[in-house]
Structure 1
Amino acid sequence: MIKRGRATRVLGQSGVAMMVAAVTACSGAGPGTAADGSSREEYLVFYAPGQRDAAATAVTGAGASVEADDPRLGYLVVHAAPAIRLDTVPAVVAVAANRRIGATTRARWESRKEQAVIPNAREAAAVAPEPLASRQWDMKMIGATPTGSYARERGSHKVLVGVIDTGIDGKHPDIAPNFNRALSRNFVIDRPTDSNGKKFDGPCEYKGCKDPADVDDEGHGTHVASTIGSPLNGIGIGGVAPGVSLVNLRAGHDSGFFFLKPTMDALAYAGDTGIDVVNMSFYVDPWTFNCPANPADSPAEQAEQRGILEGMRRAVAYARTRGVTLISAIGNGATDLGHPTADQASPDYPLGAERTRKVDNTCLNVPAELNGVISVSSVGPSGRKSSFSDYGIEQTDVAAPGGDLLDNGTSIKGIRRAILAAAPEHALRAKKMIDKQGRPKDGSVVRDCRRGTCSYYQYLEGTSMAAPHVTGVVALLVARFGKPGRGGLALNPATAERLLYASAKPRPCPTPRAFRYSAGEVQTCEGGAKKNGFFGHGVVNALRAVSLPIDR
């Protein structure tokens, strides 16, 4: 997938200007001090192809130390004093501060355990609607119902769906049957406070501040995973692809922040492990827009953003070339990403550092605007583009239901205009959304008790909720069209993308194109019925996807 009209220059020129000292101001926390008492920080130094040794020699020659090397993505993990400079080193492409709050060592990966295959619906008996199905307008919109896609294809445990998010509650009754514990990983270490001592993740619950791979203290990742693949088990809701395997690839903190190294680690692991499709409902902090040379930013900030762009481009390319189809939420700023003018939310770390800065079309939202990523806008229950959803003729690939509480063009009322999916009970208790007896305090939380066990669900809206509908549809395409590979099923990402677009329901721009959401908010849709800035190639549809001819 090529996103035309954006800055596409890879930061790979020799002699690119950068200095480790410039990034120091953006660094979260460092690993300690040198023998001479000077402070030392940790950085990711991206080297040009074939230039690993030259880059390492330059780093050590400048008095820094190489602590680790990731040859898959071509970078060194370096401990350096703030004064070190790498501006004139041809082997070095980019440098980014490695925020230690997100750093972790990769554990020895377990070999994949063969999963039992859940028969698809062409071989399985019909099922009754799940208990809370009447609240799932989103599944009805895309044809994921007992008489729709469930009657043709529900997916297989051989299809591995990675969720790069805040975690997955693997013990949730409406997720546990599909949770792949053996392959799940956590790539972050919780940090109680930020670099200025402000509360960040809060107290550590586990030894070493590292949560197990079946824990989600925030709830966002569990909601996403549930939309993708909650099973048809007579509990709560059903997901788009209720028969697939859900793999937790945690790169987000309890606080909801996603930093560069854990995100790259998760993508590289997905590529190495045979994950078929990955959901990314986030942007890489601390920048909403990453600008390689924005005059509004300091040299330190420019260097950090160049490093993020370089690292994420490498990680995305690595995963995609190894068979991973990549899905991303487009963002919730109600912004035309083809014509951005201001960024009011960056940098968002340390906490409280945000300011308003001018941006332009050379600045990218990552990962949504990277080549090789399918970007998803959100629609509300009436089918209109959600008021909060970002958009853009160059950026929007497909649309999917993500909710919109302000969507008045529907008979659905209030909170039910959002998306209902699973929520961790402990996270709801921590947020005081349920009482001591476990009863929801308001209508945003739903409790479903069956066979002596209660499970919880939450209404949320956002492009974060739209993207997993697309991920679920791609998982169904893998189950239907994939071939045996690496112990499961595999489908070339280019083929998955083509089939996804072919099965989406085209939706033209509204008339007039300048759509008025409120008196002071007008958003303009560009493009035609087959591809436009609000809906891309159309609204995804699970039934149409699983009805495509098998020889297509």
Structure 2
Amino acid sequence: MTEAPGTLVLPYVVVTGDDLVHTWWAELAVRANGGTVVSSYPQAGVVVAYSPRDGFAPAVRKVPGITAVGATRTAKIPVEWFAPRKDVRYTGPGSPSSGQVPPEGTAWDVPALGVDEAHEVTTGSKRVTVGVLDTGVDDTHPDLAAAFDRRDSVSCLSGWADRGAGAWRPTLDGHGTHVAGTIAAARDGKGVVGIAPGVKLAAVKLAELDDTETAESMVCGFVWAADHGFSVTNNSYRAIPWRYHCSNQVDQAAIKLAVGRAVAYAQRRNVLVVASAGNAGIDLDQRSSDAESPADSTPAPRPIDTSCIRLPHELPGVIGTGAVDEKLLKASFSNYSASRVTVGAPGARVWSTWPGGLYRSASGTSMSSPHAAGVAALIASTHRYLRGDRLGRALTAQATPLPCPDLYDPNGDGKPDATCTPSPTGNTFYGAGLPNAAAAVR
């Protein structure tokens, strides 16, 4: 860090050509205009930087060869944010007393996806790595330790790859640990069982609290996943400061471009990107307003349209996952869409791992996404030639179709709460349907 401790700065993504020469030139432009380079990703043509200067972004945008510059916050943060984290310890909430953990393999999501039948064939292969891009993972949890790969785990919290010991572990939120258990919790007769307990699990820490992931952390995370040979990444979050990123706003357009470049790079390296579809309970094809942005300062209602997207869920090629409940009906909170929901998976009252060797039940499309990621990992384990977009097509091809309900009435008042309609890929509630672990290994 070049600024004095306590200095307030704004982080930025600077987008340029995706090669060493362009990123070197962008680094020079950052420094020449009062900024500090945090990290460079020539694979995606993105430089992460910060500056205390209010005129930093307009000045760098004028430099030839710079495609876009965007602030990734609306309020300045202390420069210490970019320093390495030390003494990483979990101080977040414990598992709430939300009931007794069901005996291993008896929770409702296991039979719904045909997990027991799949495990008669395989529990997954160690040559398949699933990356949990989230709030960190407690690799000391008894149900996760056997699958965890410390070598390929990292913290991207501040936009650079912090490989310090335990940097990937959670500090304030057990969300990533819960996600990890759904994917790969051990089949050992205790606790819960994951969809693919035989695969390798890597943590890429993007945030300390759920739904506070930033552009710089995502760029770092997707490049890391690509360069370390991940087969699948799970992304159960939404970004700050903007919940939706609109191309007609200069900062949001730069963020959208930077993260899009990083995701595209990962996809070119055959990483399947699976993401949660969101918990607003809305038709994503009809959205018109956003009252939650900017999430890092003072949110204010603003008009949006369908070109304003959730990151990374609505980027091309991403597997968007909606949530279903125990009746295999769309969970009331789950977003839906004709084109932005690829599959529907268990996301209501899902039991999984929690930091400190604990377990808890949680609901959300955050819980449905790792079910889809786990099934994709089983497909990758049994079909070596299926990678990237081919793996995604196999995931949808083996899904069990779920029909539109005659009347979708979760409130029980006799009136439809949402309308399910056919779509080119299935229908607006469930996409191609429910991922099928048993079919995945055949």
State TM-score, norm by structure 1.
Answer: 0.69
* Matched AA of 1:464: S
Q: 1:238 to 1:66 in 2, by over 3 A?
A: closer
| TM-align CA RMSD | 2.9
SS of residue paired to 1:479: helix
- Structure 2 Cα separation of the partners of residues 480 and 150 of structure 1: 12
The answer to whether the aligner puts 1:463 opposite 2:356 as a matched pair is no
- Structure 1 Cα separation of the partners of residues 410 and 362 of structure 2: 20
Deviations, residues 219-259 of structure 1 (Å, cap 9, x unaligned): 11111000001111121111101111111111121465111
Q: How big is the shift at 1:538?
A: 0.8
Q: How big is the shift at 1:64?
A: 4.9
SS of residue paired to 1:544: helix
The answer to whether the aligner puts 1:43 opposite 2:19 as a matched pair is no
* Matched AA of 1:367: P
Query: Is the Cα contact below 8 Å between 1:280 and 1:328 reproduced in 2?
Result: yes
Q: Which structure 2 segments of 5+ residues have no match?
A: 74-78, 86-100
Query: Is the Cα contact below 8 Å between 1:285 and 1:349 reproduced in 2?
Result: yes
Q: How big is the shift at 1:66?
A: 5.0
Partner of 1:502: 397
Partner of 2:95: none
Query: Is the Cα contact below 8 Å between 1:377 and 1:398 reproduced in 2?
Result: yes
- Structure 1 Cα separation of the partners of residues 420 and 371 of structure 2: 23
Q: 1:507 to 1:530 in 2, by over 3 A?
A: farther
1:523 to 377, 397, 418: 418
SS of residue paired to 1:246: strand
Q: 1:90 to 1:340 in 2, by over 3 A?
A: farther
- Structure 1 Cα separation of the partners of residues 14 and 145 of structure 2: 39
Partner of 2:45: 74
Number of residue pairs the alignment of both structures matches: 411
1:263 to 211, 218, 223: 218
Q: How big is the shift at 1:321?
A: 0.8
Q: 1:338 to 1:61 in 2, by over 3 A?
A: same
Query: Is the Cα contact below 8 Å between 2:344 and 2:434 reproduced in 1?
Result: yes
Q: Which structure 1 segments of 5+ residues have no match?
A: 1-29, 107-129, 191-208, 294-301, 404-417, 426-454, 484-490, 548-552
Q: How big is the shift at 1:68?
A: 4.4
Q: 1:62 to 1:315 in 2, by over 3 A?
A: same
* Matched AA of 1:459: S
Q: 1:246 to 1:345 in 2, by over 3 A?
A: same
Q: 1:511 to 1:101 in 2, by over 3 A?
A: farther
Q: How big is the shift at 1:98?
A: 4.8
- Structure 2 Cα separation of the partners of residues 531 and 309 of structure 1: 28
Q: 1:216 to 1:244 in 2, by over 3 A?
A: farther
Query: Is the Cα contact below 8 Å between 1:31 and 1:42 reproduced in 2?
Result: no
Query: Is the Cα contact below 8 Å between 2:15 and 2:258 reproduced in 1?
Result: yes
* Matched AA of 2:378: L
SS of residue paired to 1:459: strand
- Structure 2 Cα separation of the partners of residues 101 and 61 of structure 1: 22
SS of residue paired to 1:178: coil
Query: Is the Cα contact below 8 Å between 1:103 and 1:261 reproduced in 2?
Result: no
Q: How big is the shift at 1:41?
A: 4.1
- Structure 1 Cα separation of the partners of residues 118 and 147 of structure 2: 18
2:246 to 277, 281, 291: 291
Counterpart mapping for 1:108-507 below 5 A? 132-133=103-104, 135-145=106-116, 148-188=117-157, 212-215=167-170, 217-254=172-209, 256-293=211-248, 302-350=249-297, 353-403=298-348, 418-425=349-356, 455-482=357-384, 491-507=386-402
SS of residue paired to 1:96: strand
Partner of 1:5: none
Q: 1:508 to 1:521 in 2, by over 3 A?
A: closer
* Matched AA of 2:355: P
- Structure 2 Cα separation of the partners of residues 528 and 215 of structure 1: 39
Query: Is the Cα contact below 8 Å between 2:211 and 2:239 reproduced in 1?
Result: no
Partner of 1:6: none
Deviations, residues 502-526 of structure 1 (Å, cap 9, x unaligned): 11011122225xx333358721223
SS of residue paired to 1:176: coil
- Structure 2 Cα separation of the partners of residues 135 and 101 of structure 1: 46
- Structure 1 Cα separation of the partners of residues 173 and 31 of structure 2: 40
* Matched AA of 1:91: G
* Matched AA of 2:293: S
State TM-score, norm by structure 2.
Answer: 0.85
Q: 1:210 to 1:189 in 2, by over 3 A?
A: farther
* Matched AA of 1:516: D
Q: 1:379 to 1:185 in 2, by over 3 A?
A: same
Query: Is the Cα contact below 8 Å between 2:115 and 2:438 reproduced in 1?
Result: yes
Deviations, residues 308-351 of structure 1 (Å, cap 9, x unaligned): 1011101101111112111000000111111101212111103x
Query: Is the Cα contact below 8 Å between 2:269 and 2:388 reproduced in 1?
Result: no
Query: Is the Cα contact below 8 Å between 2:277 and 2:322 reproduced in 1?
Result: yes
Partner of 1:27: none
- Structure 2 Cα separation of the partners of residues 141 and 510 of structure 1: 18
- Structure 1 Cα separation of the partners of residues 38 and 169 of structure 2: 29
* Matched AA of 1:94: A
Q: 1:534 to 1:160 in 2, by over 3 A?
A: same
Query: Is the Cα contact below 8 Å between 1:507 and 1:529 reproduced in 2?
Result: no
- Structure 1 Cα separation of the partners of residues 189 and 10 of structure 2: 52
* Matched AA of 1:317: A
* Matched AA of 2:325: G
**Structure number with bigger Rg:** 1
SS of residue paired to 1:45: strand
- Structure 2 Cα separation of the partners of residues 358 and 210 of structure 1: 44
- Structure 2 Cα separation of the partners of residues 53 and 390 of structure 1: 41
SS of residue paired to 2:418: strand
